[in-house]
Structure 1
Amino acid sequence: MAHSAFSLHELGVTFGLADRSVVAFRDVSLEAEAGQFIVLIGPSGCGKSTLLRTIGDLLPASLGLVSVFGTEPRSARMERKISFVFQDATLLPWRTVLQNVQLPLQVGGWRKTGRPNRSPEDMIALVGLSGRENAYPRELSGGQRQRVSIARALVTNPDILLMDEPFGALDEITRDRLNEELLRIWREIGTTIVFVTHGLSEAAFLGEKVVVMSANPGRIMQVVDLTERKPGNRIDRSSAEFFEIASELRTILHRAYGEA
């Protein structure tokens, strides 16, 4: 039986107080197995990024329960089981590629965790940037900078990787290539990934399980399990099955926008 990577039970997040409060999402219940690739899609303002941050202990839950590998999000974060990749690569411009990837091992009391890390050089090779170890962020393309941010997130050997629209600012061809690279990396390391996107094709290509959210307030509208339709989470973008999945997600999303 597979272990649970995270479990959410009737989760809710509200910002503000009393009559000035805003409900980001509510009544969200979801469970993911360790090693799964989960994709979150939905209208802007439905709480996708907020949900990601709640799992990662960057925001507290207002209601409900969150468990990450059997413990509270704070404990999982303090044990460095969680890593984040954001839309902006947020690299330190005065540090080289290698130095940026090494950073998580140099801050936050990494040695006290007792967790084995991955080799920074190996992670740079894993994301396809061997030979650019001494390059500075200004010398890299947008796609290359995101590769560095992924290597930096993976160097701590996380159990779960949270990705908030990491390829949203890139052109379509670059995004497609990085989607393929991300799946290759995921298959190699086996880390659970939760990935937020607005792209239907990206969701259809990447997700083993696609969670469709609707807004006002944010909630889970439908969970689409693609494990049987995409054995090994592999699919040809030119196949009829791929277009059927994307079309199905589009139909569900249209309903979500109608409820927004």
Structure 2
Amino acid sequence: MATAAPPAASRIAVVTGASSGIGAATARQLAAAGYRVVLTARRKDRIEALAEEIGRAGHQATAYALDVTDRAAVDEFATAFKTIGVLVNNAGGALGADPVATGDPADWRQMYETNVIGTLNLTQALLPQLIASGDGTVVVVSSTAGHGTYEGGGGYVAAKHGAHVLAETLRLEIVGQPVRVIEIAPGMVKTDEFALTRFGGDEDKAAKVYQGVAEPLTADDVAETITWAVTRPAHVNVDLLVLRPRAQASNTKVHREA
């Protein structure tokens, strides 16, 4: 069903981690829904190419190279806007699958910095503009990892639990302000980079994550869900939406075909 165009005061949508996967797909779909999207990521060439693609489709997009863990850079980025309608905190990712006993503290630290502190940085810096819009939305793209543990996932699970708690607490603290806080928690999503990055470029290990799973979620599946939640009427808040492929009953129960 078609959704109404967002109000003019809320028409800018910032998407972090927009260089690939869920972030790139979300930017495309929000642009198609009528938002002027601002694409942020560290890989400038990727987001510039995406901005050009979105422009060729007749929509508006701006690329802005940004490391969400760099607070000074985030604060400078925030000065470019008077009002923002939507912030999609998508930048994140997983590193490694070692047990707690042997996990690399540097990997844990990096995952926490990106998934939690990066989300905190952008949300704090842009919250005044989101409030000023009169109809703002903060989206936190967490994970089913933020709602259930699994072996070998300690660092990522801890980080995504942090992102979940950030969203839940923020919603309590700003109730009464004209800003919604939406958490989208995807399960198994097959993208070009997520598992490959997690396993340090090891293609065999990355492939085994999805082995035998007929239809894992796609980036477009998650992006469509995010766009649907964002484009609900302003009084409707999708507090938490957990999204999994049919083959995945939980983080540890997945149907795999022979």
With structure 1 as the length reference, what TM-score do the two structures score? Answer: 0.34
Give 1 or 2: higher helix fraction: 2
**Larger RCO, structure (CA 8 Å, separation 6 or more):** 1
Give 1 or 2: higher strand fraction: 1
With structure 2 as the length reference, what TM-score do the two structures score? Answer: 0.34
